[in-house]
Structure 1
Amino acid sequence: MVAGLIATLAACGGSAGNVAPMNAAGAVTAPRPVTLREPDPDARRGLSPEFTRVNCAVAKCVALTFDDGPMEESDKLLQILARYRAKATFFVVGRMVEENPEILHREVADGHEIANHTWSHADLTSLSPEGLRAEIEKTQAVIKQHAGYDATLMRPPYGATNARVASAAKEFGLAEIMWAVDPLDWQNRDTALVERRVLAQTRPGDIVLLHDIHSSSVDAVPGILAALAERGYKFVTVSGLLAGTSVEPGRQYRDRAAT
């Protein structure tokens, strides 16, 4: 099942190299060790130890979001986020949750937000009404099964949406979450470039698009967190970012200001 989805994700930067490594006998091997640099003490003071207490109406907030997992790189990312005490929102693909439920369990246990990114990463605008609905509904069900709650946010793959997609999102009580910052990390697998683009584009209240299926993107996260923290940013989930604003199912949101 994973191999088929990897092909589907190709246009969004998916590759066979993101599948968990296997040995000659076909058994999944242990993930590679992760080496992280200790955050600068001054930068760490800029991070919120309890993201739910952050009032983004007055604080300098940013929401980092990660699409297309959970996969091996998602697990590495969780270690980085935990070291920096940052919260994020994971827009998960339903089939990948089915393949890697234990990673989603860790995302939930660490206090991150889980949101809907469809079942198979299909372009929703190209589907029949029945197919569109199934893509959303099946992922809602698997999130409820493994996260224990109903997702309230969704992101259409490729950002492809129209009136039919908005109507289906509204039916399931889902706001459509787009982004204000896109470093094109699926296209340019260059850690330093991804980091520079995020730091150059990010403004208070922004939603940042990244993909946790690419090691180059995950490796950019420590530098992004450290630099933005030095500028006084708090790292919150999308729901935390939009808290206190009027968020309606079926409507699009790219940042806090637009609400």
Structure 2
Amino acid sequence: MFAVVLLLLPLLSAASPSKLVDRHDDNDHSHTAEKRLPSTWYHDAAHPVHELFRRGAPTDGATYPVVGSDAWAKAYPPGPPASPDVTQLPTEWVNALNAAVARGAIPNIPPSTSSDGNNPVYPNGLDPNGPEVCSSTEKCRIDGDIWDAPDGYVGISFDDGPEAGTQTLLTFLDQQKQQVTHFMIGSNLINQPNDFLAAFNRGDDIAVHTWTHPQMTTKSNLEVVAELGWTMKIIHDSTGGRVPKFWRPPYGDSDKRVSAIAKAVFGLTTIIWNQDTEDWSLTETPPGTTADKIKASMQQWLTGPKNPGLIILEHELSTDSSNSFIAAYPVMQQNGWKLASLAQLMGNNASYFNAANSGSAVSGVLDIIPAANATKSSGSSASAAPSGSSSSSNSSSNHSNANAQ
């Protein structure tokens, strides 16, 4: 069990890109996780990741809090704007970070700064695009991070959920019988548990998009651990014990330090993208793009070369952003692309370390580098298809400011 003081403060109102809504009371809705949440939980006591996300057996006939209940929500930190309090971290997470630093797995790169949403700036004259830092905002590709899908594939994923566009997106995906990956903001799960459960129960893959959606390179080592760890924990606790494999940095903002913490402490592989719709800005005032511009970009990408495959940055922030994907979906099919959930495509047919997908059983076969030995991140591609990955970054597009999602 965690040596952690549960945070009982109510969620703060959002000053962030993601809208937060009132927390649900215990009895205001019937939140069910259907058959995918087991009555008993599998735990491999010897495995380091499960040591970081352990849930003991309920005592005295008690049960775990229902996903979406007030008791469930109180186990987690407040939401934006501040990152979770690092003094409230489970000791296991802090120990794992300290061990990774001690063995030299975490580069000693200072946090960046960013003013007015501009690209991060590093102190001491450090070059963000140089080999020491390798900022993904500058399109520098870190060995082991994933930017491209295998040749001929579109790895489908959506950021920032659950949000206003989630229901529209899920309705369409149900009609198409298409599974996708959701890079979810941890605090958003608390505020829209029904939409989270709808995505999970239909078999979609759930991945990490941090707790409060910050520029991660501006955060201290402990703050990075907090942003990732709490999001992993709420996914783990709310999906029958599944441990996610993948995370995506908000704004595409990572570097060698942040990527190394994600891998060495939590085993997470960083996924970026090689095309950006900028659909997050559809509902900005004034809009940063239009549906017609996204349609034209999609037409260009989807009728172009299939080497490398496509990882397109898309969002479920609004009905407008979801509808942009819906409009492009037939173009993907008509041009002969193979469509797959991004986590399935990149995870050797396993979306989680201890489960093949959101509908399969949680097992004891864990695909992860043990934390005590992890010193270098390594990417993977689906065994069902050649990776076709490209090391070039000229087709990559990153957000250039903190208004991007």
Q: Same fold by TM-score, threshold 0.5 exceeded?
A: yes
Q: Which band: TM-score by shorter chain?
A: 0.7 to 0.9
Q: Is the counterpart of residue 174 in structure 1 residue 305 in structure 2? A: no
Q: 1:97 to 1:20 in 2, by over 3 A?
A: closer
Name the structure 2 match of 1:211: 315
- Relative to the length of structure 2, the TM-score reads 0.48
1:163 aligns with 2:235: no
- For residues 217 and 126 of structure 1, do their structure 2 counterparts lie closer, same or farther at Cα, with a shift above 3 Å needed? same
Question: Does the CA-based 8 Å contact 1:122-1:157 persist in structure 2?
Answer: yes
Moved more, 245-254 or 148-157: 245-254
Residues 1:88 and 1:2: Cα distance change in structure 2 (over 3 Å):
farther
Q: Tell me the equivalent position of 2:65.
A: none
Unaligned runs of 5+ in 2: 1-10, 23-27, 29-148, 282-287, 350-366, 370-375, 391-405
The one-letter amino acid paired with 1:161 is S
3-state SS of paired residue (1:186): helix
Identity %: 25
**Paired position in structure 1 for 2:334:** 230
Provide the C-alpha distance between the structure 1 equivalents of 2:260 and 2:333, rounded to a whole number of angstroms.
Answer: 38
Whole-angstrom distance in 2 between the partners of 1:168 and 1:237: 25
- Residue equivalent to 1:113: 205
The one of 113, 121, 125 equivalent to 2:217 is 125
Partner Cα distance (1:250, 1:185) in 2: 30
CA distance, structure 2, for counterparts of residue 68 and residue 254 of structure 1: 24
RMSD: 3.1
**Partners of 2:347 and 2:381 within 8 A in 1:** no
Q: Which residue of 2 aligns with 1:35?
A: none
Higher Cα Rg, which structure: 2
1:154 maps to which residue?
247
Flag the 1:85–1:132 CA change in 2: closer, same or farther, 3 A: same
Residue in 2 aligned with 1:194?
294
**Matches of 2:150 and 2:314, distance apart in 1:** 24
User: Aligned to 2:189, which of 97, 121, 125?
Assistant: 97
CA contact (8 A) 2:346 2:381 kept: no
1:135 aligns with 2:227: yes
Q: Distance in 1 between matches of 2:254 and 2:168?
A: 31
Change (3 A) 1:219 1:3: farther
Contact 2:280 2:317 survives alignment (8 Å): no
The alignment partner of 1:212 has SS state of: coil
SS in 2 for 1:91: strand
Per-residue CA deviations over 1:16-60 (Å, capped at 9, x if unaligned) read 6xx679xxxxx9xxxxxxxxxxxxxxxxxxxxxxxxxxxx968x3
Partner of 1:78, secondary structure, is helix
- Displacement of 1:113 after TM fit? 1.0
**Closer, same or farther in 2 for the Cα pair 1:239/1:197, shift >3 Å?**
same
How far did residue 258 of structure 1 move? 2.2
Q: Which region of structure 1 is more displaced relative to structure 2, 145-154 or 235-244?
A: 235-244
Give 1 or 2: higher helix fraction.
Answer: 1
Q: Which letter does structure 2 place at the counterpart of 1:139?
A: T
Residue of structure 2 equivalent to 1:37: none
CA separation of 1:247 and 1:211: change in aligned 2, threshold 3 A? farther
Give the structure-1-normalised TM-score.
0.73
1:161-214 deviations in Å (ceiling 9; x for gaps): 112211211121111000011011123352232232123124542111111012
**Using the alignment, how far apart are the partners of 1:185 and 1:252 within structure 2?**
27
Aligned residues: 216
- 219-228 or 170-179: which moved more? 219-228
